[in-house]
Amino acid sequence: MHYELYMSAALAEAAGAAARGERCDGAVGVLDDAMVASAADQVRGSGDPTAHAVMVTIREAAERMGTTSLQGMTIYAVVEPCAMCVGALLESDVDGLVYAVPDPVSGAAGSALQLASNGVLGRRLNVVSGILQDDAVEVLRTNGKRAAAHPAAAAGH
């Protein structure tokens, strides 16, 4: 897997989101070593509280692939996804989740909650964390108020 390549694309989405006044978060969907979808957080601009980067990426991937089952896909996210996003990953049959920065306040892939690998909904996600974490912390610190919510960003880890 090309973890750094795809995480770099998610980081670019996050920086773009921050530049548009959104929360600094981005995600990409990868299937068979090809980026199928990418998105930044769109909550503020869309007025849709569910328009997190991961959710928008899942929607875009499903639309492009013409299916609601995203088997074989890995989602790369800058910030550990929340419970809503992890639930959507499980419901859409995504196989893997790679994220850079843990979210001890609302992360649902092991930091605050463990929904990704506890068998909820009869499914599990393969989770890899910490990919380009230092770069992600810098992007969050430089571009996003959300960085303050992440102890790793505040501590410089």
Domain count, the chain: 1
In angstroms, the CA 78 to CA 11 distance is 6
8 in a domain, yes or no?
Answer: yes
Nearest to 4 by CA among 126, 133, 139: 133
Q: State which residues form the domain around 28.
A: 3-143
CATH code assigned at 9: 3.40.140.10
67 in a domain, yes or no?
Answer: yes
Res 121: pLDDT: 77
pLDDT at 122 over 80: yes
Residues 22-41 pLDDT 10s: 999 999 999 999 999 999 99
10 in a domain, yes or no?
Answer: yes
pLDDT at 42 over 80: yes
99: left (phi over 0), alpha (psi -120 to 50) or beta: beta
In angstroms, the CA 123 to CA 53 distance is 22
Helix (H, G, I), strand (E, B) or coil at 127: strand
pLDDT at 144 over 90: no
In angstroms, the CA 86 to CA 8 distance is 21
